[in-house]
Chains A and B, each alone.
Chain A
Amino acid sequence: MSLLRHRTLWIVAVVAALAIAPALAGNFTVSLLNDIGIGALVALGLVMLTGIGGATSFGQAAFVGIAAYATAWLTTAQGLSPWLGLLFALLLTGLSALAIGMLTLRLGGHFLPLSTIAWGLSIAMLFGNVDALGRHTGLSNIPALQVGGWSLADPRSIYYLIWGLVGLGFLFSYNLLRSRPGRAIRSLRGGAILLASVGADAYRVRLTLFVTAALYAGLAGWLYAHMNRFVSPSPFDVRASIEYLLMAVAGGLGHLAGALVGSALVLILKNGLQDVLPMLTQRAGQLEAVAFATLFILLLHFARGGLMGFVRRWTNAHARAQAPREAMAPVEPLPHRTLPDRGSPVLSVTGAVKRFGGLVAVNDVSFDVKAGEIIGLIGPNGAGKSTMFNLLTCTMPMTAGQVRFLGQDIAGLPQRQVARLGLARTFQHVKLRPHMSLIDNVALGAHSRTSSGVLKAGLRLDRSEERQILQEAQRQLDRIGLGDRAHELAGSLPLGTQRILEIARALAADPVLLVLDEPAAGLRRKEKMALGDLLRKLREEGVTILIVEHDMDFVMKLVDRLVVMNFGSKLVEGVPSAVRADERVQAAYLGSVV
């Protein structure tokens, strides 16, 4: 019984149940199901934003409100068609999300959520104070939707539209997450530097995600307005936003299905409480808020994975084995860069200086790297190797000096642009996404070679490119000898192997220059030999490699030339045998004899 079959069965069962529900259920249940569908759309956006992207919004209800009011105003005051209202609603929510995102997403973690609280409050207050929007009484007599000549005024008829859109929304998210932009979204929590190293801009990715989540809320708002045919400010305040967030957390932030489960859970519970509490007390409304807040806090204390987290644990216990994937038919490979001629200059560092306040970490270092060679950067601890590494990958700005890569001055360029020029790197502290499969981690490396965006990915128009990416990723995995473990999770690999996996990710970018930060650390002897063979093979293919390494034995056997650093300055440069014999190097490593 494969996990995949299991899941398909579940989906078929849920869809079938939803399809026949209106025929069996009473009016009340159908209305509840409609509310659940609308809640699920909003929660779906939040699952993607918070659970997968690691940012959050306390203003999601405000987006629902903007869309609802937009379509309400357009269809009542202007008398236009609700379908134009849909466009208008999505446009307004998208633009407002774009504006807020641009203001806050460059800043650290808590600025976005705090601003969205203020935003959520402001929007609800605006709704209540603008004459054209009916102030606190709201707008009524919103027309029902019409499809052809068919009116969707009845809850049972709009039911199919709502759930059809919920289905499409889920499909869109599902496709999106398994695509080029989706891999970038799933890597957001790995940090901006990881994304920049594959040529992606974390800010742009986060902004796109935020707008996408807002558009889900916008769609829900449009449905809400034409289902209830009445809008007023109160369902769009911060309290409602918290309720949407509660849905996402209760269902399970890590899973798309969590949105649906959570929406159902919260709304059914709410209905239950509304039935039960009045029997116990006269202050039912207040107790309901208290109960929900308590539930929310308890969830975050004891079950942060939500209901789907439990389900996942259970299914994992039962179906651990991954389904073997069928071999893909070969497709045309991704286009390759033409590598520079052997011996031509690839990277030249001239007079690099980096100061941290009074400390000079790198002092006037110059060296050249030529195409097709392996060059080693070594030195005792604290010699400034890592800082040098950060300078030439443009992870860190230089105080003075010049770095030329393929004839272009790259000092001061953002890291992602340097990555796009063909400089790929690995990290000393491994930056992999532990919850993504090996092949997805490697495929992320090909980000800068491909172009599909969110819309294309969500609508599955990116499939031919996606096949090319996966084929390339598989090729690189085969190359490092992990081809048959492509669908395991990266977090399950031992640390040494994770370093090798980072090399595969770097190779997927089709680099001119590969910059490796201590790739042999944590490897066993045999693995080191395999790594050495791989690097030599790459050199034969014309890839240039710069390697920072502590393992002398490994480096000496591998490199063409060595640059030795000590106390921030370049000590010696030369072939391994000369460096080994150099007295200054011996003194730096072992202490002076004198």
Chain B
Amino acid sequence: MTWDVALILGIDGLANGAVYLLAGLGLVLIFSVTRVVFVPFGDIAAFAALTLAAFETGRLPATIGMVVVLTVLAVLTEVGSLVRRGETARIPKAVLGWGLLPLVPCVLAWLASRPGVPAPVHVAVAVLLVVPIAPLLSRVVFQPIADASVLVLLIVSLALHFLLSGLGLLFFGPEGSRTQPLASGSITLGDGFAVSGQVILMVSAAIVLSGLFFLVFERTVTGKALRATAVNRVGARLVGIRPARTALFAYGCASLLAGLIGVLIAPVTTMYYDSGFIIGLKAFVAAIIGGLVSYPMTAIGALAVGVVESFASFWSGALKDVIVFSLLIPVLMLRSFLMTHVDEEEEEVDQ
């Protein structure tokens, strides 16, 4: 391997790392607020990519159907729970909030799929269209069992991934797609070495978004409410924070991140209905490096995963994922070794 190759691989790795960084932030956000290890995260990113691809080929994206189905389910769940609690007066408001709000991006998407719409609008609408997915899933699937153990939530989450990827296949079909680059051109560094605009876009998006993320968490009341819920759900409730609402906000943010990842990655990788799983899983490797709680460590982990992946694909394309996952071994060893004291409440699965 020459220095040139190493440089190219390193820059490729940075671009990968940028994606894992965004995904890792979303995963840690959801986990810390709701204790759900949100496996379907990657699926949502894949849906955003396939939505954009559908726009570009002039088709109506199948995502609309998916969002509509989820909306109906969410409205049913919400109305059901209101009826059970005897709060029938709140039904109209719930139907409005849960039923109409998610349909707004669907209408936008329908409008955007008509001919003559400029490409940037396609990108924006593709991201917007997947934003309701995670909050709706959380309402239907996770909120009714919010107090279950982490283990149960994790099993549900994994089953949900298989549900979504099955639906993805039904809605989008088995074909892969690749979209137009978002940024054209390239910057030539000295020595005739070029970095494509897309890579620069990915890296700068990651930097800007994680900066924004930091600001929201440190400087706004909503961010503080999220942190409070993450530290102690009961305590947060006592000071007037509604865990269900913060959870919804976390899912919304994560969904947005997933959408952005989808449109960022679609021009550089061919995306299939199930491509998201591996992306999500590699982000998990990054998140585990951060212990599923620390954002800065997750960021470092994401970059490490990205670079390792890019070098691994140089050595063995088929086994690159195995090599990335084996990164977990030293990380877990170190964590095991450094760990001093754990007395977590143990899990009861069947009660």
Known: A125-B322, A286-B166. A309 touches B350 (CB 8 A): yes
A103 touches B163 (CB 8 A): no
**Chain B residues, Cβ within 8 Å of A118:** 281, 284-285, 325, 328
Stretch at the interface among A9-17, A29-37, A297-305, A373-381: A297-305
**Chain A residues, Cβ within 8 Å of B162:** 239, 242, 289, 292-293
Interface residues of A in 354-409 (CB under 8 A from B): none
Contact code string B279-309 (vs A, CB < 8 Å = 1, else 0): 0010011001000100000000000000000
A122 touches B322 (CB 8 A): yes
Known: A108-B342, A297-B141, A300-B156. A290 touches B151 (CB 8 A): no
B155 touches A107 (CB 8 A): no
**Chain A residues, Cβ within 8 Å of B169:** 283, 286, 289
Interface residues of A in 165-196 (CB under 8 A from B): 188-193
Distance (whole angstroms) from the CB of B242 to the closest CB of chain A? 22
Q: How far is the CA of A391 from the CA of B321 in the complex (A)?
A: 47
**Chain B residues, Cβ within 8 Å of A51:** 349-350
Give residues in B with beta carbon < 8 Å to A.
37, 141, 144-145, 148-152, 154-156, 158-160, 162-163, 165-167, 169-170, 278, 281, 284-285, 288, 292, 318-319, 321-322, 325-326, 328-329, 332-333, 335-336, 339, 342-351
Known: A122-B325, A253-B349. A297 touches B156 (CB 8 A): yes
Q: How far is the CA of A54 from the CA of B284 in the complex (A)?
A: 22
Q: How far is the CA of A107 from the CA of B167 in the complex (A)?
A: 34
Given A113-B151, A304-B351, 16 extra CB contacts under 8 A: A104-B332, A107-B332, A107-B336, A107-B339, A114-B288, A119-B325, A122-B322, A125-B319, A125-B321, A239-B162, A242-B159, A246-B159, A253-B349, A283-B169, A300-B159, A301-B144
Contact code string A178-221 (vs B, CB < 8 Å = 1, else 0): 00000000001111110000000000000000000000000000
Distance (whole angstroms) from the CB of A461 to the closest CB of chain B? 30
A110 touches B163 (CB 8 A): no
Check if A50 is an interface residue, CB within 8 A of chain B: yes
**Of A249, A283, A294, the contact of B163 (CB 8 Å cutoff):** A294
Q: Shortest 4 CB-CB distances between A and B: which pairs? A: A293-B163, A290-B166, A289-B166, A189-B346
**Of B285, B319, B350, the contact of A252 (CB 8 Å cutoff):** B350
Q: How far is the CA of A117 from the CA of B283 in the complex (A)?
A: 13
**Of B165, B281, B319, B347, the contact of A54 (CB 8 Å cutoff):** B347
Distance (whole angstroms) from the CB of B304 to the closest CB of chain A? 15
Known: A103-B336, A108-B342. A306 touches B350 (CB 8 A): yes
19 contacts between A and B (CB under 8 A): A51-B350, A55-B151, A56-B349, A58-B158, A106-B336, A111-B332, A114-B37, A114-B154, A114-B288, A115-B288, A115-B328, A121-B281, A121-B325, A192-B343, A246-B159, A289-B163, A293-B166, A301-B145, A304-B351
B170 touches A287 (CB 8 A): yes
Most buried by A among B160, B321, B349: B349
Give residues in A with beta carbon < 8 Å to B.
50-51, 54-56, 58, 103-104, 106-111, 113-115, 117-119, 121-122, 125-126, 128-129, 188-193, 239, 242, 245-246, 249, 252-254, 283, 286-287, 289-290, 292-294, 296-297, 300-301, 304-306, 309
Distance (whole angstroms) from the CB of A506 to the closest CB of chain B? 19
Distance (whole angstroms) from the CB of B163 to the closest CB of chain A? 4
Known: A103-B329, A297-B163. A108 touches B344 (CB 8 A): yes
Q: How far is the CA of A185 from the CA of B37 in the complex (A)?
A: 26
Closest B residue to A104 by CB, please name it: B332
**Chain B residues, Cβ within 8 Å of A104:** 332, 336
A110 touches B154 (CB 8 A): yes
Distance (whole angstroms) from the CB of B103 to the closest CB of chain A? 23
B336 touches A245 (CB 8 A): no
B318 touches A125 (CB 8 A): yes
**Chain A residues, Cβ within 8 Å of B321:** 121-122, 125
Distance (whole angstroms) from the CB of B70 to the closest CB of chain A? 13
**Chain A residues, Cβ within 8 Å of B284:** 114, 117-118
Q: How far is the CA of A346 from the CA of B347 in the complex (A)?
A: 37
Distance (whole angstroms) from the CB of A363 to the closest CB of chain B? 22
**Of A109, A192, A292, the contact of B347 (CB 8 Å cutoff):** A109
Closest B residue to A50 by CB, please name it: B349
Contact residues of A: prevailing secondary structure: helix
Q: How far is the CA of A362 from the CA of B326 in the complex (A)?
A: 45
Closest A residue to B325 by CB, please name it: A118
A290 touches B167 (CB 8 A): yes
B154 touches A113 (CB 8 A): yes
Closest B residue to A243 by CB, please name it: B162
Distance (whole angstroms) from the CB of A111 to the closest CB of chain B? 7
Q: How far is the CA of A128 from the CA of B316 in the complex (A)?
A: 13
Known: A115-B332, A286-B169. A190 touches B158 (CB 8 A): no
**Chain A residues, Cβ within 8 Å of B159:** 242, 246, 293, 296-297, 300
A129 touches B319 (CB 8 A): yes
**Chain B residues, Cβ within 8 Å of A193:** 343
B345 touches A191 (CB 8 A): yes
B346 touches A122 (CB 8 A): no
Distance (whole angstroms) from the CB of A584 to the closest CB of chain B? 35
A249 touches B155 (CB 8 A): yes
**Chain B residues, Cβ within 8 Å of A301:** 144-145, 156
Q: How far is the CA of A109 from the CA of B333 in the complex (A)?
A: 16
Closest A residue to B168 by CB, please name it: A286
**Chain A residues, Cβ within 8 Å of B328:** 115, 118
**Chain A residues, Cβ within 8 Å of B155:** 56, 245, 249, 296, 300
Known: A103-B336, A108-B344, A122-B322. A304 touches B350 (CB 8 A): yes
Q: How far is the CA of A51 from the CA of B285 in the complex (A)?
A: 27
Distance (whole angstroms) from the CB of B298 to the closest CB of chain A? 14
**Chain B residues, Cβ within 8 Å of A103:** 329, 332-333, 336
A126 touches B163 (CB 8 A): no
Known: A54-B151, A56-B155. A304 touches B319 (CB 8 A): no
Q: How far is the CA of A50 from the CA of B348 in the complex (A)?
A: 9
Most buried by B among A118, A188, A190, A309: A118
Distance (whole angstroms) from the CB of B201 to the closest CB of chain A? 29
**Chain B residues, Cβ within 8 Å of A58:** 158
Q: How far is the CA of A118 from the CA of B167 in the complex (A)?
A: 23
Closest B residue to A305 by CB, please name it: B350
Q: How far is the CA of A550 from the CA of B193 in the complex (A)?
A: 77
**Chain A residues, Cβ within 8 Å of B156:** 296-297, 300-301
A126 touches B170 (CB 8 A): no
**Chain A residues, Cβ within 8 Å of B163:** 289-290, 293-294, 297
Known: A253-B350, A254-B350. A109 touches B344 (CB 8 A): yes
Closest A residue to B163 by CB, please name it: A293
**Chain A residues, Cβ within 8 Å of B167:** 290
Q: How far is the CA of A126 from the CA of B323 in the complex (A)?
A: 10
Q: How far is the CA of A245 from the CA of B162 in the complex (A)?
A: 13
Distance (whole angstroms) from the CB of A140 to the closest CB of chain B? 21
Q: How far is the CA of A103 from the CA of B319 in the complex (A)?
A: 22
Most buried by B among A58, A104, A293, A306: A293
B318 touches A129 (CB 8 A): yes
Distance (whole angstroms) from the CB of B6 to the closest CB of chain A? 25
Distance (whole angstroms) from the CB of B84 to the closest CB of chain A? 14
**Chain A residues, Cβ within 8 Å of B288:** 111, 114-115
Q: How far is the CA of A464 from the CA of B349 in the complex (A)?
A: 34
Closest A residue to B349 by CB, please name it: A253
